[in-house]
Structure 1
């Protein structure tokens, strides 16, 4: 794959970087796709429902655990300043994880009951561990993106997929229980940390010598707008996606959250294959484009390329899923296939908007991004609560429609503000 990329794509180009990340991600996501039909036969929809709650909690906490200093790592011109931001992010992740350990370890039954899912209590100890592992990997990945070590990131993504999926399959085959799903996901979040950290210590020793307490304090102040504005923004954004899943698991009858999770995982594959790679390279390239006055053109080009790459396969998946899901995943998963059809507009718009959403941070519109995500939380959670109380049989469909409405608005605002 490297030889093919070297032959066809110019070294150092945006397309080359995306290609390097995507090549490994294709393997990782392909492994996840191949494992899904096996996992749905090893584990029940109820097991996936419990996993959905765990993933929702991890998703909400991980995105804010670094106080968003992680996304600022590529922004400074000086590498020593970027490393100071990485240090701040890792310290914040450690503190947040320690705080999470208090309720999950001391009163797990009460915590699980408050979440509306008492069966989660034996697995809550994995929440602080999972948040720490995933947050550390995320912060180190931004440093590697800054240094344009996309081949290294690709290798760690492959390791994560093999380790996480392999653990879920192995435990499920030995003794199927929710533990296998949750434990495998926890490992997935942290696998790759050692490789990224070892590379930093080996290649960036000179920069490490320039790291001082004074520089760390200085950078925490310089980029204080990120914890002030971007933490609420990220919390609103992730809660808008994950909080409805927790509510559906608690309020809807049966394994509805499990069906919803499988549908979201299938529809999220193009985002995992291409969108995440584009986002990783975009945040590394965008600051320089902004300084050169070319960010608007660059962002619009990325949006159009994402639409052409993502819309056709997503629409196709939405059309065939109601008929293929019972065959591929088993008859009991037919409901998930219909949910995929409902989610198609949402994921097409998200596929275009999410990878370039960091343009709002690069241009200094952090407060606008926060207000937008707060509005999105209200738009997405409110209708789900109403549907759960009045028409629980369409609560997931309601969630899908609100997702499409929110990302349509998000896309429009990005286009306006980057002019």
Structure 2
């Protein structure tokens, strides 16, 4: 088996490196599929299709952050698995209630929501599916985090493979068949595949306890809805509002170019950085609980991420327009130009994203909240200025440089707190 061969290669390595390699190996296979099908995706779907898909997924991602109360982020922290399972149940319960309310809002204010998002009337039927997709996303992310807590990194890797392959295959088949919304339906199929697989691998997920026990757990980890919920909601807003503003100020096509650029540049985040994240979360929490510091594993992770990120994105910045046109078709040269502008920002995001969990481990969510507010402000100002001047490149340059500066601050801040008890 592939994983058995990988195990023999990894003999003598540290546990951290082994776990990262396990997750990365499965993720590499999973991410190879979207890379291979991207030239097909760009030929069977239009920039407008990708723009609508990116917008809908952005709304779902934002709602998934809000709906769980961020209790799932705390799953790694408790020493006791019983408490961790309580957090799983709390996140699922809050997510279900939130999605019920969201469904009522969509049903009663369908056109108003569509106007706010800038969706064309012909695409607004997708709004009805957002509550369902949101709960699926919350449920899926919670299962992934609990699986990682149990150090079942092989399961995490296999899950990534199954989800991405089923999603990509569905998107290609539906695109070739000219079925409307193939990109969105493919994402749904991938999510369902992930949930079914993880549920089969987790023997015990919930505790049979009194409501008071769940309430006590919720109170014990109340910092997460108090601070992390707002901070992460602002972060999600900052990440996804550019698509909304691109559509409102420019067009679905321009948003499609931008969304596709983000999708391609995010592949290294999904392939490598997320593999580090899954393992770093568990190891940083464990080290901090034992020793009062996670500085050694922080520095080790920082060094490895930097050596991968900086050279790779520097090369991409130079050749992106020509590379995009060659691989994805001449129509996507514009996306390549966007990629050149955003490369430095994504290089720093690649480094900062896994390390950001330090602030959760040491309970410094207030600092994260302040940083997220700054991020939201520069995002809105950047795209508003570019929109008013009808200049998408100006918006992207301002966006990229502002984000880069804030990511540097975040890396320094997480380093500072990695040794605080």
Q: TM-score, normalised by structure 1?
A: 0.94
- Tell me what 2:386 maps to: 387
Superposed CA offset, 1:120-144 (max 9, x none): 3121122111111111010011111
Going from structure 1 to structure 2, the CA distance change for 1:32 and 1:195 (only over 3 Å counts) comes to: same
Q: Which runs of 5+ in 1 are unaligned?
A: none
CA distance in 1, matches of 2:273, 2:143: 19
After superposition, what is the alpha-carbon deviation per residue over 1:23-79, rounded to whole angstroms, capped at 9, x for unaligned? 111111110111111000000111111112112111211122211100101111111
Determine the structure 1 residue equivalent to 2:410. Answer: 410
Structure 1's 142 and 211: CA in aligned 2 closer, same or farther, altered over 3 A? farther
Q: Deviations over 1:301-332 (max 9, x none)?
A: 21111011222222222222111211211111
Matched with 1:111 is 113
How many residue pairs end up in the alignment?
414
Preserved CA contact (<8 Å) 2:317 2:339: yes
5 Å matches for 1:251-330? 251-253=249-251, 255-291=253-289, 292-330=291-329
Alpha-carbon displacement from aligned partner over 1:214-268 (angstroms, at most 9, x marks no partner):
3211110000110010000101111111112211111114611111111111111
Alignment of 1:82-161 (within 5 A): 82-118=84-120, 119-161=122-164
How many angstroms apart in 1 are the aligned matches of 2:109 and 2:363? 41
Match of 2:176 among 173, 181, 202: 173
Instruction: Identify which of 240, 243, 262 aligns with 2:241.
Output: 243
Q: Deviations along 1:105-158, whole A, 9 cap, x unmatched?
A: 344333212211124312112211111111101001111111111111111111
Q: Distance in 2 between matches of 1:337 and 1:87?
A: 43
Q: Corresponding residue for 1:377?
A: 376
Cα pair 2:378 2:399 within 8 Å, conserved:
no
- Distance 1:9-1:252 versus aligned 2 partners, 3 A rule: farther
1:65 equivalent in structure 2: 67
Shift in alpha-carbon separation, 1:9–1:251, aligned structure 2, 3 A: farther
Given that 1:130 and 1:190 are in contact with CA atoms closer than 8 Å, whether structure 2 keeps it comes out as no
Q: Distance in 2 between matches of 1:382 and 1:163?
A: 38
Q: CA deviation at 1:3?
A: 2.2
Q: Residue 354 of structure 1 aligns with which residue?
A: 353
Give the drift of 1:360: 0.5
- C-alpha distance in 1 between matches for 2:325 and 2:179: 21
Distance 1:188-1:381 versus aligned 2 partners, 3 A rule: farther
Q: What corresponds to 1:219 in structure 2? A: 217
Q: Please say if residues 52 and 245 of structure 1, whose CA atoms lie closer than 8 Å, have aligned partners that are also in contact.
A: yes
Deviation at 1:186, TM superposition (A): 2.6
Aligned residue for 2:20? 18
Q: Is the 8 A contact 1:229 1:370 kept in 2?
A: yes
Hey, what's the Cα distance between the residues in 2 that align with 1:225 and 1:209?
Answer: 22
SS of the equivalent of 2:324 reads: helix
> Kindly tell me: are residues 211 and 4 of structure 1, through their superposed partners in 2, closer, same or farther at Cα, counting changes over 3 Å?
farther
Does the 8 Å CA contact 1:252/1:388 hold for their aligned counterparts?
Answer: yes
Per-residue deviation, 1:199? 2.2
Tell me whether 9-18 or 110-119 shows the greater mean CA deviation: 9-18
Q: In the alignment, is the contact (CA less than 8 A) between 1:130 and 1:187 conserved in 2?
A: no
* Greater Cα offset, 231-240 or 253-262: 253-262
| Contact 1:233/1:374 (<8 A) preserved | yes
Give the direction of change, closer, same or farther, for the CA distance of 1:342–1:163 in structure 2 (3 Å limit).
same
Counterpart position of 2:5: 4
TM-score (norm 2): 0.94
Note the aligned Cα RMSD (angstroms).
Answer: 1.8
Kept in 2: contact 1:270–1:314 (CA 8 A): no
Matched with 2:197 is: 195
